[in-house]
Amino acid sequence: MVAGGIYTAVAFLQRSETLITERCTAVGSGGDDLATDQAGNAALITAVAVRRGLPARAASIALATSMQESKLRNIGHGDQAGPDSRGLFQQRPSQGWGTAEQVMDPYHASNAFYDALVKVSGYQSLEITDAAQQVQHSAFPGAYAQHAEMARAFASALSGQTAAGLDCTLRAPDAAGDPAEVQAQLTAAFGTVPASADGRTLQVEAEGTEAWAVAQWAVANAKALSITVVQTDGHGWSRDARNGWQASDAPAGQITLTVAEAPKQ
């Protein structure tokens, strides 16, 4: 009887997990949530802007552009207007954006977009749709505007301008996390950031908006990297609790990332 009760409880928990819709949201997004893969790409695009020292406005323009061009997904095909278009920004090798392999590299694609954006005079004061159009030369220039609110909200959170501004609702991890892999992905996104691993925990040293950029990058990538807890600057995010950022005793100046243990069979 006890064994049957345990089996029923486990089955209920497993079913409850499957009913959870995995999504990420940002404060001020107007209800425009992102799927977890989209959020991971948004975090990457924004981290490249942070690494380059660009303002959050640059990331807003990039996110609106990528959402319109590829739905924030690294797709390997184009459309009728650009059959050789590829990647997050649907960049065309035939138009000088790089090789077919390069435009499929999210880091190359993001840097190429920003390289073009910073050449647009006064881009920070332009409407998002105008700045995006001067980079992309789209046949549908007005289409970028529909993503402006979402883009501003996610760029503000992922660049660290809005503290505790990004939350992801996720199911329980289905694989163990690896602090070394988290550090490798963090370095790829932000460059070298002081960090040290201890067991299932990675402690990252960063201050102010950079700390929040790293923390919310980690939340956006929690599904892919099996991250379960993120803590920084008096706040904590728990994958299991699914209640967003809550007050904690986490000190400022560092971010503590905890990854999942191997799931029990």
pLDDT at 4: 56
* Long-range contact pairs involving 120-129 (C-beta distance under 8 Å, separation at least 24): 123/57, 123/58, 123/61, 124/55, 124/57, 124/58, 128/60, 128/61, 128/64, 128/152, 129/64
- pLDDT at site 79: 64
pLDDT given for residue 77 in this prediction: 81
Query: What is residue 31's predicted lDDT score, i.e. its pLDDT?
Result: 85
pLDDT at 13 over 70: no
How many other CB atoms are found less than 10 A from the CB of residue 74?
Answer: 18
By percentage, how much of the chain surpasses pLDDT 90?
82
- The pLDDT score that the predictor gives to residue 14 is 55
Give the 3-state secondary structure of residue 217: helix
The C-alpha atoms of residue 110 and residue 112 are separated, in whole angstroms, by 5
pLDDT bracket for residue 204 (50, 70, 90): very high
Name every residue whose Cβ is closer than 8 Å to that of residue 115 and which is 6 or more positions away in sequence. none
Residue 105's φ and ψ, nearest 5 degrees, are -85, 115
The whole-number pLDDT of residue 81 equals 55
Per-residue pLDDT tens for 158-203? Answer: 999 999 999 999 999 999 999 999 999 999 999 999 999 999 999 9
Distance CA 134, CA 65 (A): 11
Number of residues that this document lists for the chain? 265
Q: What is the pLDDT of residue 143?
A: 87
Rounded to whole angstroms, how far apart are CA atoms 19 and 21? Answer: 6
Structure letter (DSSP) for residue 120: S
Residues contacting residue 73 through CB under 8 Å, at least 6 positions apart = 37, 38, 41, 88
Whole-model pTM: value is 0.91
Residue-wise pLDDT for 95-132, tens only, equals: 889 999 999 999 999 999 999 999 999 999 999 999 99
Q: Is the pLDDT of residue 242 over 50?
A: yes
> H or E segment at 37?
helix 36-52
Taken in order 167, 176, 19, 39, is the CA torsion positive or negative?
positive
Whole-number mean pLDDT of the chain?
92
> Which residues are 169's β-sheet partners?
23
Q: Which of 75-79, 150-154, 166-170 has the lowest mean pLDDT?
A: 75-79
Confidence of residue 265 (pLDDT cuts 50, 70, 90): low
Helices (H) and strands (E) in the chain, counts: 10, 8
Has residue 233 got a pLDDT over 80?
yes
